Structure 1
Amino acid sequence: MAESERMYDMVLNYLKDNSIIYDFQLIYDTDSKLHFDFYAYGLAKELQLLANVNDKMIPAYGMVKISKEKYQKALDKIDLICDDYNLLIIEVENMKNAIKRLIGANILLEESLNNEKDMFESLKLCFNSVIDVMAYRMISEKASEMLAECVNIEHISELGVPSYLLILKQNKEKIKNNDDIIMFIKEYGYLSSFNIAPTLYESEKYLSTLNKGCGGVIPMHISYDDSYCKSDMDKIVYGLSWYSELRHIYQLRTLRNFRWYFEKKRFDIHKTGVGELFGL
């Protein structure tokens, strides 16, 4: 199902004990146990932040179980935040800062993998950082849905919100030589798939067959630039959209970086999750 689906609609009501179960295997098509863990642990943290919920993870691929009463409490808190611009501005700032921490954690992990030093510690930091980012999904999706009724798509595009698909396309068209290929593979190739397995855009052989572009593929850097925003609503819309795009980019980059670690340690890239890695 599409990434844009409302997560809080995609739940199972377990009638035996009147609980709510999230099974992310029913929501997303991915080949990675770890990726399901990103969503499940992120949701568990968001529920804890919203309603002090500490219900259990189910020891399976991406499942979370919560009482229906506590789940409704979390949804009520989301509605409260989305109805108050001041509270929503605070959450958007939290989202931005969480993304920035995840970017930094990925840089550190990539350096550790390259140097083969302190890899496991960097891995744990990156996992905790991606979970912090994923812990704003319900709020961002509900707020974005509400604001979409007030702000049209054309106006959102005028705010300069980055697009991961456009970023991928533009950098693919810059590939001119082997240096560009190597840089593209590291910085952008993983964006073409939701899976942990290497993508076609991570193949030097495939990329070398493309028509030569203008050259100049550079490391990814996407700044937070709300200078086109003319109102507080614009800034909220921009912040939510920026978070959504950057979350997508860096959850996939984190997944790719974990794959590099799995390959170094000869772990199964598809079946290794946080339970196998960290004993959680």
Structure 2
Amino acid sequence: MSGEDEKPRTTPETPGTGAGGASGPTGASNVSSAGAVAFGPQEIRRPDVSGAVAGRAREGMFGVTDSGDTSGFSGLRLPAYSPPPAERPYGGWFDEVADETTAALADDGGADFATCVQQVTVDRGEMTWYVDREHLVRLARTLRDDPALRFEFCSGVSGVDYGDGVPQQLHVVVHLLSMTYRRRLRLEVALDVADAHCPSLVEVYPTADWHERETWDMFGIVFDGHPSLTRILMPDDWNGHPQRKSYPLGGIPVEYHDAEIPPPDQRRAYT
């Protein structure tokens, strides 16, 4: 395409890779490493934990602690980790998107970028914005409609539960795609379990409809303003949300041909 809306399709400079971690979101670039964690025969260095998102240390796999483990996962140790904020310059087109969004938000007279976005992280060539839920819909509409941004497509809305002991342990994750400029941006909203409400994006991205229903079904996150927030995977009368960390390991007993099959973690014990 040509004209004022044309933007250079640059490839972002790959930031220094953070340590990442399965117990929290991915980390940011340009941070100093501090602290060493013993991890088998090698040593992995983790960045300083600072920022808006908390992590949780993990031991073993699947939460099994009262029986033998033939998988070898019982020795797994993952230290607590949370992504520190990234600092300017982010690299590549990331700075351009941040600047264009800042200008677009200022033009409509609402809250500024720093109010809408609580934290920015950059890792492995990807950018994540941690968004205040009160400004999620307005920010998404700006990202969709502004000619310099044009994130026209929402490719998915999903949930994460980081477990007990983590502040705002529930996260809503929104993946946006700009087909015009071939760019991807991730938005995350952190929520408390006691107030697991997030504005629906269906009015901005109709494709979010079923994604939000599945996230509510699995994680119990209520999307305010959704046109029909009903179960999509589980039966309508199902109690609980299966992907919550507080959900019973292995689910519930299943009736099969007049026999009751116990949850997987209760079927066999290794001694």
TM band (smaller chain)? under 0.3
TM-score between the two structures when normalised by the length of structure 1: 0.23
Structure with more helix by fraction: 1
Q: Whose Rg is larger?
A: 2
